[in-house]
Structure 1
């Protein structure tokens, strides 16, 4: 029984837990794989830092030499970033290793090239941990639903933003307060831009669209909005409408099924919808398919231990393939569907407006919306500072129609300010 050798690139939060669980569960891993696995090297950027549980004799700062050894069966990449990680993975393929990664930014940007290189060298590329941490999602989309037709994926795929919005909803905190709490608890990075501006979720949406619809969606084709503009007033309006606000990733087929769209943005979700109950830093994804109907995937989407668990699940699969002399499923992309622009997306909207107290203010708002093909589903108003605060929910309309209507409302005689525009999902 030969021993399979594993190289680890990165020993931060996730990498440290990978080492810990490989050590703690060595016997179980051996039983599941059919052969023992040995950690053969750990590449880090900076030597000398304390790394509890990581054998010092395995630690090196020469990642290039580690992936070039030629006796490595599997390289686990958890260093993050794009360029450096891509180069190391390409080198690993060239020297006979398969790869397990947790790097969503890399896969979203370079997935096609990496899969092509893996195929050319007869290697595996697995990355279940790249999208929703411990939540098993990519493998069910690629394998369990391979005989079905997925029509829509709607999910919360960023734990940091979900924690912030949940705190704003449950405690009444404003955005800066909730962000400060998320940072103190370790849910938000010192620079939270990737999370709060939607970059992290957009990379995951691009990957999800590829698995759900079998077509390549580049991360720059994913419409992206963050949560930094969400106010306490928006949260209160959502509560009044029986909803909560979540940052959602939406991937769906267009009319007729010949196109897809992928987008990330805040949305009002009705309180009875499964995603509305997702609290704290958890992730959840709802998949809608022809035969299976609605499937819900829910669990911890970030953190060292959950992500390490997903990494080790991929490690078991790749090692089994290695022993059998085969490779697993490759690139999920097999279609060439058009990616629809955001302007063509059809959904519902919530508008907040500050108007004058003139009798014809309501009529003007309704007329402007009507001229742009946007019809009102519900409307409420309350006295504000010398005028009225209006909240409007619309019927379905294209994003282009709604955007044109909002531009017109901003210059309308009786509209002093458009205070918010939030999409409505899950109805």
Structure 2
């Protein structure tokens, strides 16, 4: 595609990155199910391995099907490049890998998916990294948490599970002042509802497993590079600004400019961490993205109707959907997600934990699964599942207390979903 920025979102979600297959003329992107690629000659091979030429070497690093997906997601997010990997959690490690070092820390929101909280609070300590958890409603506390050893700020645009919306612009301002990147997990919003880079984010990560793929078939993650950060402005990011011994002293930022982070993610991150996205998964995600805007419009339409109905139900103590006029995050929704607050929120049941369990078990149309962003409506009790590893205080801070149920609204008939919710709420309250 030429002059891609001139096209609208609906066009880009179908065409960005894709071209007819040069060998066969196939219109849909083929699944290049191959491990390796034949070099033209020895000189060509050497140029590829020296990063002097862009091309395909080995599918742990690059694959034509995955490359189309990388270009498409980067285009939709307004970035210069992207690196796809095997899952959303892999994407978070891939995003931090060039930035961190033993003894360094990342300032993260307390309102994150439970698995992310565990990854940041426990797993990254094995690398010698540390996370500082802060309530991002208190930007003074975020600023105070940033110190000389901080190498990134991390948050979610629409937080899982509660639908909390982060003031991305305010977080970006603090990160810029400290000379560090802001990383935003945009999984729950997708680039159709929110464009974090437009609000100052340096990097955007996704669990493509969710709304981007949209059909609950494969796992995948992606890191999108805005291309706007000056990695050489300080000595904080030697992986990107200093000579790289594995490439004979090459300096990624000096050599690749705005694409430095993207090239590092492939040439170092995928090479050594090996968290590769397989081409069949990339193909499923590409097909899912073709209908992203249509699905997100329906997710939002259904969620707005159902959240409003739930808010007035006698068995419900509260609904966290930011699209409601009563939400304290309504203004942020209008500022950062003008097309809607997505399809994810939580409800708090007046009858507590036991009612939550019975409610989940009684639903018929809603699938009880550890996923979100599917075409199907999904439900889970976060405190006993996705956020189970957290302390009670961490669960409450994340919006996943014992009396809370997470709901992911699908694209079914909204009235059918309401009827199912109503019968389950009545059973749980009996």
Which structure dedicates a bigger proportion of its chain to strand?
1
Q: Flag the structure with larger Rg.
A: 1
